[in-house]
Amino acid sequence: RTARFTVDPDFTVGEVDPRLYGTFVEHMGRCVYTGIYDPAHPTADAAGFRGDVAGLVRELGTPLVRYPGGNFVSGYHWEDGVGPAADRPRRLDPAWRSIETNRVGTNEFLGWARGLGLAPMMAVNLGTRGIDAARSLVEYCNHPAGTAWSDLRISHGAREPHGVRLWCLGNELDGPWQTGHKTAVEYGRLAAEAGKAMRQVDPAIELVACGSSGAGMPTFGSWEREVLEQAYDEVDYLSLHAYYEELDGDRASFLASGAGMDAQIADVVATADHVRAVKRAKKRMRLSFDEWNVWYAQRFAGERNLETAEVPRLIEDTYSVTDAVVVGSLLMTLLRHADRVAIACLAQLVNVIAPIRTEPGGASWRQTTFHPFALTARHAHGRVLHTTATGPLLDTPRYGEVPALDHVVTYDEESGALTVLAANRDQSSPLLLRAALRGLPAAYRVVEHLALTDDDHDAANTEAAPDRVVPRPVTGTTVDADGVLAAELPPVSWHVIRLA
Ligand code: AHR
């Protein structure tokens, strides 16, 4: 069983925007408290943030982090999270039925992000609040000095403006579960006016409007159209969200989740372009896939009607080899849409459906999904090349026939580095990969081939065995005298092959 494609740098999809490797920190469960922030931890810095987690975040290679929600933001008063810690109120967070102590707020988060070189992507509350709270937060964060909100920030110890460039206009307001859920027209009007007012404070900001919270929503497609009819001129990006899980033992479809993401992106692009045509607009809407991941939501269903708690353990999924192959494959899908998808955020960063897990005051470790994310973020840069593979197809109940091989190729003209990302989604047969390299400035050789795979497709990393599943070097991958790359991909495996 062989899958073949041709690599030619003359055929480009688009530039890789490094913001495709974004992540997400929500005030939810243990993402913030005992996740990134744990003053009692032996590695905590003076501000209370965990040094071990900071090290893993650096290694993950994410350049962007969305904050503070998520469903949480739709009931959040940002003013609760600034100023002297002792004066901050304890609030009931209706989204996750948690007690929010507000010990971490805007300045603490932005200070942590700055220390790690992460660009923040802040969300404003358009659920229970509106234009005024949104524009005052922008003024608090970004205005240099000499106004009530900026001087308040300075009085809180943040002398320099934070310079937050990227702002989400609310979160998932199409969802009936969302505090302050709205119709598309209600939301579209509010997003347009809030965005306008925020830009009046800081003209340099970029704005993301909420698309649907999933392709399965009954209003999917019409929500995007109606929101953009109201807000097209004011916003720079439209958001997409999607979570994937294995349902009813249908692993073939789960491994093909990239096909679902691919269709969702195509549908949102078509809808946005329809509004553009009707409006005769010049701007082509770009997309922000600002929540995506594997999430075993069915397991969480039993956790509804949550007891109110301070730092509850919520949706701390443990990921397997199969989940890591799916995450790696979803990243390939995002890259193949580099012409339209500019931003994407793996949801979330620590503990809550996350690549990094921690114990309060204790250990931290990398989940299986950490590895394809970190290696993709490190090596897939430059331009995404157009490549079309031929090869075996797999029958999937949910998506019909999908290629066994998933792949994407990036080419960094400056360094000459060529990166082939590939996955074999077949559960029982190995796959031979053959890629004809042409039009390159020199003869290429294999610098490194790393694979994430295991005979046990359910193997996972745990606190007791944190390195049970790690990427391992593969030998025997070659480029022959005719410039054909040859590699063997075991069943259910993810690969990065670096050429130079
Ligand atoms: O990431 C977990 C939750 O999923 C977010 O709060 C929400 O936006 C989405 O439904």
Task: Render pLDDT for 200-215 as a digit per residue (tens, 0 to 9).
Answer: 999 999 999 999 999 9
Does residue 173 register a pLDDT over 80? yes
CA of 298 to the centre of ligand 1 (A): 14
pLDDT for res 308: 87
Can you name the residues that pair with 480 across neighbouring β-strands?
Answer: none
pLDDT for res 236: 98
pLDDT for res 307: 82
CA 395/CA 463 separation, integer angstroms: 36
Where do you find CATH 2.60.40.1180 in the chain? 2-9+384-499
- Give 151-159's long-range contacts (Cβ < 8 A, gap of 24+): 152/82, 152/83, 153/82, 153/107, 156/82, 156/83, 156/107, 157/107, 158/107, 158/110, 158/111
The closest-lying atom of ligand 1 relative to the alpha carbon of residue 348 is 1
Q: Mean per-residue pLDDT for 372-378?
A: 98
3-state SS class at 88 = coil
The closest-lying atom of ligand 1 relative to the alpha carbon of residue 72 is 6
Q: Whose CA is nearest to atom 4 of ligand 1?
A: 70
CA of 70 to the centre of ligand 1 (A): 5
pLDDT for res 300: 78
CA 156/CA 5 separation, integer angstroms: 57
The closest-lying atom of ligand 1 relative to the alpha carbon of residue 315 is 2
CA of 337 to the centre of ligand 1 (A): 23
Mutate to test the pocket of ligand 1, among 25, 76, 169, 171 (most ligand atoms within 8 A of CB): 171
Phi and psi, residue 458, nearest 5°: -100, 5
Q: State the catalytic residues.
A: 172, 291
pLDDT band at 183 (very low <50, low <70, confident <90, very high): very high
CA 329/CA 146 separation, integer angstroms: 49
pTM: 0.98
Identity of residue 13: V
Does residue 483 register a pLDDT over 90? yes
Q: Mean per-residue pLDDT for 267-275?
A: 98
Does residue 299 register a pLDDT over 90? no
Q: 333, 325, 281: which is closest to 452 by C-alpha?
A: 325
Q: 217, 223, 260, 258: which is closest to 238 by C-alpha?
A: 223
pLDDT band at 216 (very low <50, low <70, confident <90, very high): very high
Does residue 302 register a pLDDT over 80? no
Mutate to test the pocket of ligand 1, among 172, 244, 303 (most ligand atoms within 8 A of CB): 172
The closest-lying atom of ligand 1 relative to the alpha carbon of residue 69 is 6
Per DSSP, which regions of 114-223 are E strands?
119-124, 166-169, 206-209
Which DSSP letter does residue 250 get? Answer: -
CA–chain centroid gap for 175, Å, is: 20
CATH number of 17-379: 3.20.20.80
Per DSSP, which regions of 101-219 are E strands?
119-124, 166-169, 206-209
CA of 417 to the centre of ligand 1 (A): 36
Where do you find CATH 3.20.20.80 in the chain? 17-379
Domain 2-9+384-499 CATH class label = mainly beta
pLDDT for res 304: 61
Tell me how many helices (H) and strands (E) the chain has: 11, 25
Q: Whose CA is nearest to atom 5 of ligand 1?
A: 70
Name every protein residue with a CB atom under 6 angstroms from any ligand 1 atom: 26, 28, 69-71, 171-172, 213, 291, 347-348
Q: Whose CA is nearest to atom 3 of ligand 1?
A: 70
pLDDT, tens digit (0-9, with 9 covering 90-100), for 223-236: 999 999 999 999 99
Q: Whose CA is nearest to atom 1 of ligand 1?
A: 347
